[in-house]
Structure 1
Amino acid sequence: MKTIKGPAIFLAQFMGDAMPFDSLAHLAGWAAGLGYKGIQVPADPRLVDLELAATSQTYCDDIRAVVDNEGIVITELSTHLQGQLVAVHPAYDTLFDGFAPKSVGGNPVARTEWAIRELKFAAKASQRLGLCTHVTFSGALAWPYLYPWPQRPAGLVEAAFDELARRWTPILDAFEDAGVDVCYELHPGEDLHDGVTFERFLDAVKQHPRANILYDPSHFVLQQLDYLAFIDLYHPRIKAFHVKDAEFRPNGRQGVYGGYSDWVERAGRFRSLGDGQIDFGAIFSKLAQYDFPGWAVLEWECALKHPQDGAREGAEFIRRHIIRVAERAFDDFAGSGVDAQQVKQLLGL
């Protein structure tokens, strides 16, 4: 069995203009000072030049040196924003234009081409940085039709997933060439948001070996999906892990959909680690049982708590939950020493 690596922290929610949040070096030092051993790095130009990382080993070696100097490692690169732009329904064009350079704004075709190119850069950059996993979003074409009213026309969902697969297959092939797994965060707002949609996508990409899962139980709590049974079903494809808490407290006025409320007023909301309802003891046990090979990475999102408090508390929370797996069975001391021939005798064979 494998011991989960960690704790690590996703830097996206902490980037800013002031020290220590203004550069990769400063963020790495800040995270190390809190007790983190790894950082998950957004492919944001403030932290990493993705195209340069894809083309220059020297640049990647320099990045590694900066992080190594702080006594910490990069766990994965993240292209959540770029992945979102691989597939955008026209209803969201204006909102998602902000995720892309101004040069492709107002041009959905150019924006998609840019996003696909960025993902391919991420494959090579991950390889040059010595990483074996990458985290991202799938994007969404069918999301506005999630609830079947008015009735969805026959073939709409199938056509959406066929198109999603058409766009992602060359990207997955690039990651195959780089020897890196793509881990989709299954997330409301994405076409890949639960087990059923992930299976549908796997079928569409012909069970591509690089199509895998970033497991984040918080999104399953908000959907009221069994996040422990999910691990039993999909553990062979779970290659990344966001440790994020959540709570779901429905009442007589709202449930899963939240009534368009802001996060503080929603029945389902994200919380700092330990402040929500998720059974992380059971999650870490299952991941240890199934030899999860990756990192336990804090993704901090909370409707109430200050982010720096969440980050500080999160390192110790993850450390407490990581199970150092046993090197031998607990009952080895009681071994009978029976050999193969005696086993046959015991069975009357």
Structure 2
Amino acid sequence: MRPVTIFTGQWADLPFEEMCRLASEWGYDGLEIACWGDHLDPKKAASDDGYVREKKEILARYNLNVWAIGNHLAGQLVGSRNTKRFEVFAPKETHGNPEKMRQWAIEEMKATAIAAKALGAEVVTGFMGSTIWEAWYSFPPVSDEFINNGFKYVADLWDPILKVFEENNVKFALEVHPTEIAFDYYTAEKLLTYIDRPSFGFNFDPSHLHWQGVKPHLFIYDFADRIFHVHMKDATVNLDGKTGILGSHITFGDHRRGWNFVSLGHGDVDFEKIIRALNDIGYTGPLSVEWEDSGMDRLHGAKEALEFVRRIDFPKSQLAFDDSMKND
């Protein structure tokens, strides 16, 4: 059976050791460690053996492993326009200077590859940013040249970063997600025409595809060789005649939204099809719970989510059910 981990990004308000204690008590096999809060400082991990040793000792104390680390926030700043809205992700000394924010993010992502290697993780999950997300709706009219230049811009920024990933034998897995250069099936397909590096692939997260109307299991089959990591995350769509699929500028969790993230097993995502697809492509990596549900206590939800993943995951059959009926 595949190991089950939990992404610590939504828990970064807790001290790292407290997060480890909770995950261990719930029964998780490991963590997908977020590079914010006190959970992991990439630059420190890339340069300080003692810091890495301390993190490993804490993980070992709670019998937890690490297959992946996540740096979504710095990754977002690499390719975005970096207006004031994005300053929440960057150090104060870079605020007000979009290019300074970008350069900080580029160096942060390079360090993240080295940090992953130091921790023994093979994958870094994260975002890449986009300068053209605001043009997802073609009004005012958007030219093909504008869109293509946006893809090229992000690809060019990430090329030297991905070289560092390859030097450290670590893979980068983009979470296909609104606000990213690749946010659905066809933008993911298009991005692969601009980035053709062995270190680049996807962190499959069905929740973001589901509410957009994309069938997540089809994404797995068609991008099989690029699925480097898997998030287990659920969403529910509630189009009741008043709600809109774009969210209406209403906060997550509000019942008036057209869709919401919910704890695993409480939404509409067809996880059985996802497990069968993962079996068919031979994915044996971790299933990482990314827990987001504004309507449920997170301590209850994280434990219940683990139980759901254990129950829904199953190995692929090694024989056909009707083999025993055949005459030799």
1:189 to 179, 183, 187: 179
Counterpart of 1:36?
A: 28
Counterpart of 2:6?
A: 9
Within 2, Cα distance between the matches of 1:154 and 1:283?
33
Contact 2:263–2:293 (CA under 8 A) maintained in structure 1: yes
Letter of the 2:212 counterpart = Q
Give, in angstroms, the shift of residue 105 of structure 1: 0.7
Within 2, Cα distance between the matches of 1:251 and 1:48?
42
Query: Which string of whole-angstrom CA distances, capped at 9 and with x for unpartnered residues, describes residues 220-248 of structure 1?
Result: 11111111211111121111111011011
| Structure 1, unpaired ranges of 5+ | 338-349
2:95 to 80, 87, 105: 105
Contact 1:188–1:219 (CA under 8 A) maintained in structure 2: yes
Within 2, Cα distance between the matches of 1:126 and 1:308?
27
Contact 1:6–1:318 (CA under 8 A) maintained in structure 2: no
1:282 to 273, 277, 299: 273
Helix, strand or coil at the partner of 2:284: coil
Describe how 1:301-312 pairs up with structure 2 within 5 A. 301-312=292-303
Give, in angstroms, the shift of residue 331 of structure 1: 5.3
Helix, strand or coil at the partner of 2:192: helix
Counterpart of 1:209?
A: 198
Contact 2:276–2:316 (CA under 8 A) maintained in structure 1: no
Residues 254 and 159 from structure 1, CA distance in 2 versus in 1: closer, same or farther, beyond 3 angstroms? same
| Structure 2, unpaired ranges of 5+ | none
Give, in angstroms, the shift of residue 334 of structure 1: 5.7
Helix, strand or coil at the partner of 2:67: strand
1:318 aligns with 2:306: no
Identity rate, percent = 30
Instruction: Number of aligned residue pairs: give it.
Output: 326
Within 1, Cα distance between the matches of 2:281 and 2:192?
21
Counterpart of 1:260?
A: 249
Give, in angstroms, the shift of residue 89 of structure 1: 2.2
Query: Which string of whole-angstrom CA distances, capped at 9 and with x for unpartnered residues, describes residues 10-62 of structure 1?
Result: 1111232xxxx32x222111101001111111111512221121123443233
Describe how 1:175-254 pairs up with structure 2 within 5 A. 175-205=165-195, 207-254=196-243
Give, in angstroms, the shift of residue 335 of structure 1: 6.7
Query: Which string of whole-angstrom CA distances, capped at 9 and with x for unpartnered residues, describes residues 178-233 of structure 1?
Result: 1111000011111211121122222112x111110111111011111111211111
Helix, strand or coil at the partner of 1:123: helix
Letter of the 2:151 counterpart = F
Give, in angstroms, the shift of residue 172 of structure 1: 0.9
Higher relative contact order (CA 8 A, sep 6+): 1
Counterpart of 1:162?
A: 152
TM-score, normalised to structure 1, is: 0.89
**Cα-Cα RMSD:** 1.7
1:126 aligns with 2:123: no
Letter of the 1:14 counterpart = W
Letter of the 1:15 counterpart = A
Find the structure with the greater CA-based Rg: 1
Within 1, Cα distance between the matches of 2:27 and 2:80?
38
